[in-house]
Chain A
Amino acid sequence: LAKTTQPISMDSYEGQEVNITCSHNNIATNDYITWYQQFPSQGPRFIIQGYKTKVTNEVASLFIPADRKSSTLSLPRVSLSDTAVYYCLVGDGDNAGNMLTFGGGTRLMVKP
């Protein structure tokens, strides 16, 4: 199971774009990359998932280079409500037993 490494914390200001990078050097061919957001005392919430290149949805973009050893979650124009912990996970989404290991996550603090 690929291990992930993320910055422990990041600070930003309202309206800025925030990019959080995750390293996963041992990612396997079948592994997808998934990002979750967690607010205090709540369960993690799915943000975005990708396999390669770029994925975009209504809340974020995910950039994955060709070697897939890292990925970057991009949050456009953050607001105070985006203050949360963001987790990057890698694993094979079709197999039970994968995408189970949470790394330390990145604690994002958005300031006014």
Chain B
Amino acid sequence: GAVVSQHPSRVICKSGTSVKIECRSLDFQATTMFWYRQFPKQSLMLMATSNEGSKATYEQGVEKDKFLINHASLTLSTLTVTSAHPEDSSFYICSAKGLAGGEQYFGPGTRLTVT
């Protein structure tokens, strides 16, 4: 099946710094990628939808200036958490849809800890 990777798998950063998380579709082209955030014992919450070559669509309550999303190619989307704070510590998961639509393929997630 299709594979989606994320890098890094876990990152620790200091408060006030920025962190970039990469999401790649390894064996298919993804016109649409999604970014989710998941806090412990909770469900996945959609943060934004990104389409290749256009601006991301953010869900209500998600600050677009804080969570910068770039989808510059059909196989790569990045999420940058700017000026991170401890409350941004979470598990960030991306997913991707192929050109023909259909199933979403999820990445393994990135554990962000802000100290």
Q: Which residues of A contact B (CB under 8 A)?
A: 34, 36, 41-46, 49, 87, 93-97, 99-105
A sample of 28 inter-chain contacts (CB < 8 A) reads A34-B103, A36-B106, A41-B91, A41-B111, A42-B108, A43-B4, A43-B108, A44-B93, A44-B106, A45-B106, A46-B103, A46-B104, A46-B105, A87-B44, A93-B101, A93-B102, A93-B103, A94-B102, A96-B32, A97-B49, A97-B57, A100-B46, A100-B49, A102-B43, A102-B44, A102-B46, A104-B43, A105-B43
In the complex, residue of chain A having the shortest beta-carbon distance to the beta carbon of B32? A96
- Contact in complex: B104, A99 (CB < 8 Å): yes
> Which residues on A sit within 8 Å (CB–CB) of B6?
43
- Contact in complex: A96, B101 (CB < 8 Å): yes
Q: Which residues of B contact A (CB under 8 A)?
A: 1, 4, 6, 31-32, 34, 36, 43-46, 49, 51, 57, 91, 93, 95, 97, 100-109, 111
In the complex, residue of chain B having the shortest beta-carbon distance to the beta carbon of A85? B43
Grouping DSSP codes into helix (H, G, I), strand (E, B) and loop, the A interface class, with mixed when no group exceeds half, is loop
